[in-house]
Structure 1
Amino acid sequence: MTDARIVRSRLKLLALFAVFALPMAMAWGMVEWRLGIPDERTAHGELHPDLPRLADWPLSRVAKDGADDWLMAFDCTNDCAASADRWWRVHRALGRDAHRVSRLRIGEGGGKTLPGEAIATWHEMPTWREPGTLWILDPDGRPVLSYGEGVAASNVLEDIERLLKLNPERPLARLHDE
């Protein structure tokens, strides 16, 4: 064998090692030195890990359409009909994923109940409650995000769509509910 062929064979072997070793070295560097990992938030809502689960909220009764449903719970203080309509429109904008989300109106509010909406009332006002807040709760009843009164509906819709995409529906979930 000539020296040129040996050098070429060794270069090919080194290139093959590099193809497999470089991604691992880059991943290790990203983990160790936090290089290339975004620090910015992607959700529009506020995270509140200290909020209690839905079962521990001082509410009269809570009903969801399905056991695996996410829940949009909103505290209705002023202009209940308008905020109920606003969140109903966000719910409808989910399209084919709308069956994965239930809505809960908290407060008296008057007016008619919109389709797919349940109503509950506070037994006592919790200290963490802020009037006009919308909470997104996971299927286990843990609060994931909360939004203040002036949030844009498009931001809420975007966050819910992202949550539903990152948490896909079980393959036979629809049949299980029926």
Structure 2
Amino acid sequence: MAVVNHVARQRIKLLLIFIIFAAPIVTAWGMVEWRIGVPDETTAHGSPTDQVPSFELWPIAPMSDAPVSEGRWILAFDCSLQCPERRDLLWRMHRALGRDANRLTRMSIGGEGEPLPGEALVAWRETPRWSQPNKVWLIDPEGRPALAFSASVPAADILDDTQHLFKVNAR
């Protein structure tokens, strides 16, 4: 009887080991299949920029002496409507990046007035068909547009997306 009891105990231990290793897989499958416990929120407030060409192909001409820095992310803003207010919000957003602020260059396309600190002023040579008033684009250091933000997206959401991209794209 002691031998049967010992064998049964060993089988129960083996079964428990299988359950322990299979439980996370079964749980994950259930979460994916029935959408239980999966958040519905989106993390990106901007939209991907499929129709926007590489930054080198943008039809822009410099208006100020501040160059757009190579090897940095670029926050380009089509300054057509509510330009001073939006430029100020984007400047404050840039400062809110803290120690990562040096990874970003701001660029205002169009508009009037003096550039804010750390901002380059440029103008469209010709307005491209993919441009929209008050649109903001976040361009990676290699010149590829990463995200586009419509005029309705608050600067705090642009800051969230920028911080996330900086986090997942180490220097």
- TM-score band, normalised by shorter chain: 0.7 to 0.9
Deviations 1:64-110 (A, max 9, x none): 3341x221100111343332222110000111111111111111x22
- SS of the residue aligned with 1:60? strand
Identity %: 43
Is 1:134 aligned with 2:136? yes
Is residue 73–residue 136 contact of structure 1 (8 Å, CA) maintained in 2?
yes
User: Partners in 1 of 2:20 and 2:51 — Cα distance?
Assistant: 45
Normalising by structure 1, report the TM-score: 0.79
- Structure 1 residues 64 and 8: alpha-carbon distance in aligned structure 2, compared to 1, 3 A threshold: farther
Q: C-alpha distance in 2, partners of 1:156/1:15?
A: 48
**Residue identity opposite 2:79 in structure 1:** C
**Aligned residues: CA RMSD:** 2.4
Q: How far, CA to CA, are the matches of 1:84 and 1:118 in structure 2?
A: 11
| Runs (5+) with no aligned partner, structure 2 | none
* Inter-partner Cα distance in structure 1 for 2:41 and 2:89: 28
Q: Which residue of 2 aligns with 1:172?
A: none
Q: Is the 8 A contact 2:51 2:130 kept in 1?
A: no
Can you list the C-alpha shifts for 1:131-164, whole angstroms capped at 9, x where unaligned?
1111111222222222222322211111211221
1:24-61 CA-partner distances (Å, limit 9, x unpaired): 45556666x47455554222222232221111211125
Q: How many residues align?
A: 166
Q: Which of the residues 61, 79, 84 maps onto 2:87? A: 84
Alpha carbons 1:65, 1:116 under 8 Å: kept: no
SS in 1 for 2:112: coil
Give the Å deviation of 1:124.
0.8
Between Structure 1 and Structure 2, the one with more strand by share is 2
Q: CA deviation at 1:23?
A: 2.9
1:16 corresponds in structure 2 to: 17
For structure 1, the residue ranges without an aligned partner over 5 or more in a row are 170-178
Q: 2: distance between equivalents of 1:42 and 1:123?
A: 35
